[in-house]
Structure 1
């Protein structure tokens, strides 16, 4: 009898995994997964090169090989999108030493939010996020530059004194995350993707399982937050769950001109 129960449990687990996988695939492909790539490669870059105006993007940086695009969701959310074809966090291109430091570039572009709002935006309210391979809907790498959730902000403030350069586990949004503090200088010195792969060796060969986020700590340091996909816990590796695209952490936003 116990053997039958164990067998039934295994079957149930396999069924759950199958259902979750199918749902993830459905979400992954429900939209045109090349939409961002088409916007950047067919509109933003040609417009920048021919007219010196990057519309519909807000910026095309040809030397650093990226574009900034206002996302349709949220009043202040922007996306950093490479000008080269890079599917996502699982791409081996991101671990090449010469690869652009996309996280540092995205954090540098946070001034776009203040420009759109028409007044300063405290870095304390902001965050970056990239989702795991099956936690996203687009097959062109994009980093979300948006606001941080108020509850996550509160939790990070509480954790700040104990965060160091060593990765440590905690629970955010009911999911297990690995957190590591770093200075702004360290963010610019080494790619966040390479840092994750170097410092957490289990991630190097399976980067597609990971989502990655970044925010500022109250003492001026930054914190990287890595989440690993776990289908059994209904966790798709979507670090974007730490963000609040409605931007509740800042006062009511002035309507953009």
Structure 2
């Protein structure tokens, strides 16, 4: 039998877990947080950028994970709005916000330990676009380090499996993403982006190539979740075990 002191603590923790489960069980939970709270008074978000139409929210999971979420209703990677020139480059914005991840860690992450992930429609729980900004897993980091300089500027199959995924990969060179929009780059490879984008995962990983900084962009078709690997988020480690030192 639980002691009088321990029992309330355990019940309290169970209650918090139940609340978290309820929040994520609602597919509109993130939209409600951003639309009804963050754009009104910022909290619980850590930042709202009205000019670029996004909010930055510390995720419930992980020590450092943050989510960049549009303040306009954009359901996910399948949304036609992401292919419009008038829509902000949310992945470029997410890269600029990586300092929020660093702020939760003992040391800043090197660029090749930072990842941005967007899950396919069937590999996500929320019906509002959210970009996961977090640590790359140690396994994914080691695998990409081996092949980084072999990745070209055109999409091609990655010669290695990462986190159960067989990605297509390409490189983009530069300190930041600038006007390069990975959503548009991916859409250009598809015969019918309006129907095909929904099945795609999209991941952007910082890289330091032999001749300078850049990015590795990864994409694949999300397999059924029952396989155990589904979202682009699989390449991340929300416990941030990667050594940033």
Change (3 A) 1:30 1:247: closer
Which position in structure 2 is the counterpart of 1:205?
195
Aligned with 1:176 (options 151, 166, 170)? 166
Q: Identify, as 1 or 2, the structure richer in helix.
A: 1
- Secondary structure in 2 matching 1:199: coil
Aligned with 2:45 (options 39, 45, 57)? 57
**Contact in 2 for aligned 1:203/1:210 (Cα 8 Å):** no
**Contact in 1 for aligned 2:111/2:207 (Cα 8 Å):** no
Which position in structure 2 is the counterpart of 1:246?
239
The number of aligned residues is 219
Rounded to whole Å, the distance in 2 between the matches of 1:116 and 1:233 is 32
Which position in structure 2 is the counterpart of 1:73?
61
C-alpha deviation, 1:117, in angstroms: 3.0
C-alpha deviation, 1:184, in angstroms: 3.1
Change (3 A) 1:236 1:245: closer
Aligned with 2:180 (options 173, 190, 195)? 190
Rounded to whole Å, the distance in 2 between the matches of 1:30 and 1:189 is 33
Change (3 A) 1:101 1:115: same
Rounded to whole Å, the distance in 1 between the matches of 2:243 and 2:92 is 23
Which position in structure 2 is the counterpart of 1:104?
92
Unaligned runs of 5+ in 2: 1-22
Which position in structure 2 is the counterpart of 1:160?
148
Rounded to whole Å, the distance in 2 between the matches of 1:141 and 1:198 is 20
Rounded to whole Å, the distance in 1 between the matches of 2:28 and 2:226 is 29
Which position in structure 2 is the counterpart of 1:221?
214
Which position in structure 2 is the counterpart of 1:23?
none
Q: Deviations over 1:172-204 (max 9, x none)?
A: 222211011002367221321111101344655
Provide TM-score, normalisation by structure 2.
Answer: 0.82
C-alpha deviation, 1:79, in angstroms: 0.0
Q: Deviations over 1:1-52 (max 9, x none)?
A: xxxxxxxxxxxxxxxxxxxxxxxxxxxx9701111011111111111xxxxx
**Contact in 2 for aligned 1:130/1:143 (Cα 8 Å):** yes
Q: Which moves more between the two structures, 231-240 or 112-121?
A: 231-240
C-alpha deviation, 1:156, in angstroms: 0.5
Unaligned runs of 5+ in 1: 1-28, 48-53, 253-257
